[in-house]
Amino acid sequence: MLNQLGLPSNPADVSQFFPPSAPQSVTLATFLNSIATTLAALSPSSELLSAFSAFDDDDNGQVDLVELRDAVLHTAPEPGERVLTAAEVDKVMNGFTGRRAFSKSKQGGLAKRGEVFKYHDFVNSITGTNGAAEGGSSNTPEES
């Protein structure tokens, strides 16, 4: 589970939670506090949405999956962070992908039809929100 949260899980890292003289379990309060500490370090949802929107050509809450994946894999990590593997990137993006819907803003609906990453859904899932504060669905059609 720690690996899925992006936290180290080797014995040296978890030994602080399981001293040899104590029970080999962790209380819910300790577990929730550990998760809260990790989540507090995340960027605010508005900052994440702003970063993803840089890849969103038609402002529909979806970005080209191949383009985003390539950017994530080929951008240098922050100092002290390690490079993500392709498998790790795919695992994080899994569940937030789909086919691009037809767009009435493109001529004849001939927009790119490849796989897309639904970044509003992704940000809402990691911040624990449902997106209601941002005006509901990110896929509302624009009026001409």
CATH number at residue 100: 1.10.238.10
Residues 105 and 121 in one domain: yes
Domain hosting residue 58, numbered range: 44-144
Residues 53 and 33 in one domain: no
- CA–CA distance, 33 with 43 (Å, rounded to integer): 18
Q: Would you give per-residue pLDDT tens digits along the chain (144 residues)?
A: 677 777 788 888 877 777 777 777 777 887 777 777 776 666 788 888 988 998 898 888 899 999 999 999 999 888 998 998 999 999 999 989 998 766 555 554 445 568 999 999 998 888 777 655 444 444 444 443
CB 121 within 8 A of CB 129: no
pLDDT recorded at residue 89: 92
Total domains in the fold of the chain:
2
DSSP for 50-118 reads HHHHTT-TTSSSEEEHHHHHHHHHHSPPPTTPPPPPHHHHHHHHTTSEEEPPP-TTSGGG-S--SEEEE
25 in the same domain as 62? no
The verdict on 68 and 91 lying in the same domain is: yes
> Residue 140: its pLDDT value, please?
43
Verify that 101 and 142 share a domain, yes or no.
yes
Which residue in this structure is represented by tokens 């994080």? 92
- pTM beyond 0.95: the answer is no
* 94 and 143 part of one domain: yes
d(CA 52, CA 46): 10
Residues 57, 137: Cα–Cα separation, whole Å: 18
Give residue 66's pLDDT: 92
Examine the domain organization and report whether 103 and 62 are in the same domain.
yes
> Among residues 111, 105, 112, 119, which one has the least CA distance to residue 71?
119
Determine the length of the chain. Answer: 144
